[in-house]
Amino acid sequence: MRVIQDIADQLKRSKNILLTCHTDPDGDAICSLLALGIAMEEIGKEITFYTESPIPAIYRFLPEVNRITHTLTDVEKFDTAIVLDCGELERIGKQASKVSSIRTVINLDHHITNGGFGDLQLIDTSCCATAELVYKLIKEIDHPISPPVALCIYTGILTDTGSFRFSNTNRAAFKICEEMMAMGVEPHRVAQNVYGTYSLNRLKLLNHVLDSLEVSEDGKLAIVTVTREMIKKTGTGPEDIDGFINYPRSIEGVSVAVLIQELSPNNYHVSLRSKEMIDVAAIAKQFGGGGHFNASGFSIEGGLAEVKQRLIQAVSGI
């Protein structure tokens, strides 16, 4: 039997389902979580949404988004956990081991570096977004896609393909989004929320981040840094950083863009983006992280200068 059928059957059998995704969730993680959860509720399941990190302001227009909790208790009550958009279970954050204690853990993902955790895995790297997998799963369950679910699926695909600009943009992206539009999704409204409504403080933060730009001598590597001081000074939060890496990425001649985010003293999260045939998932893996061919990340300890040096070395080695 196909895995997708097994997962559909498991969900139909479940009564109480936990849905979760990775820390610092992006549009696709949040939208996949909401789309599948809403659809499960429509077929009569008890559902709980959990993310460790807060939801960025630009995604707070999504249906049921206020039901996402950031504390996890009573895990005994769940018969199934669905982990979305996570290459490893640990990406859920501090509650990963609690989630893994749930009787059936389903791993739904599109990352090339997915290690295959869980009891049932649906990992398809040809999917443009986890939201594409969620769409296919809801179809497999043979449940009609409702307008709120359509809005989430559309937004997940839109954001993960960078508005149909990144190399993961496939025919399914257009096909599914067209179908979601037929269900009532209004692209200009989604775009207004996701790309056209930023706080003034976020813009001030961007100013600092752009100021930190460093480009390698050969012009191929561009690095920007976000310190905790910048966040504090501008009254922003880590969720305001989403999208900043596209600035160094857009520089002519740059093939690898890096955003280094200070999490705590000597502890950083590094985001990597590449153009064309440079495999940044492989670079992230060297540092214990993962992701996609053209978009990846990892966490690292050390001084900022040392982190940059190690990165420059790793990038020059490819």
In the complex, the residues that contact Mn ion under the rule CB under 5 A are 26, 28-29, 85
**What would the two tokens of residue 262 be?**
């200070």
Q: Least Å distance between CB 278 and Mn ion?
A: 20
Please identify, using beta-carbon distances, which residue of 178 and 214 lies nearer to ligand 5GP.
Answer: 214
Site string for ligand 5GP, 105-134 (x = CB under 6 A): ------x-x---------------------
Close Cβ partners of 97 (under 8 Å, ≥ 6 residues apart): none
Please identify, using beta-carbon distances, which residue of 5 and 267 lies nearer to ligand 5GP.
Answer: 267
Please identify, using beta-carbon distances, which residue of 125 and 197 lies nearer to ligand 5GP.
Answer: 125
CA distances from 183 to 52, 121, 170, 186 (A): 31, 29, 21, 9
Residue 296 binds which entry of ligand 5GP, Mn ion, none, with Cβ cut-offs from 5 to 8 Å by kind?
ligand 5GP
Q: Least Å distance between CB 28 and Mn ion?
A: 5
Q: Least Å distance between CB 32 and Mn ion?
A: 8
Q: Under rule CB under 6 A, which residues in 288-317 are in contact with ligand 5GP?
A: 289-292, 295-299
Among 32, 37, 39, 88, binds ligand 5GP (CB under 6 A): 88
Q: Least Å distance between CB 79 and ligand 5GP?
A: 27
CB-based burial label for 200 (10 Å; 0-12, 13-18, 19+): exposed
Close Cβ partners of 315 (under 8 Å, ≥ 6 residues apart): 220, 221, 256, 258, 283
Q: Least Å distance between CB 70 and Mn ion?
A: 17
CA distances from 135 to 129, 182, 221, 250, 266 (A): 10, 15, 36, 31, 40
Among 25, 27, 56, 87, binds ligand 5GP (CB under 6 A): 87
Please identify, using beta-carbon distances, which residue of 107 and 271 lies nearer to ligand 5GP.
Answer: 271
Q: Least Å distance between CB 141 and ligand 5GP?
A: 25
Strand order in the sheet with 267-274: 214-215, 221-226, 256-264, 267-274, 295-301, 290-291
Q: Under rule CB under 6 A, which residues in 7-46 are in contact with ligand 5GP?
A: 22, 26
**Which residue do the tokens 């992230």 mark?**
284
Interface contacts to ligand 5GP, rule CB under 6 A: 22, 26, 87-88, 91, 111, 113, 271, 289-292, 295-299
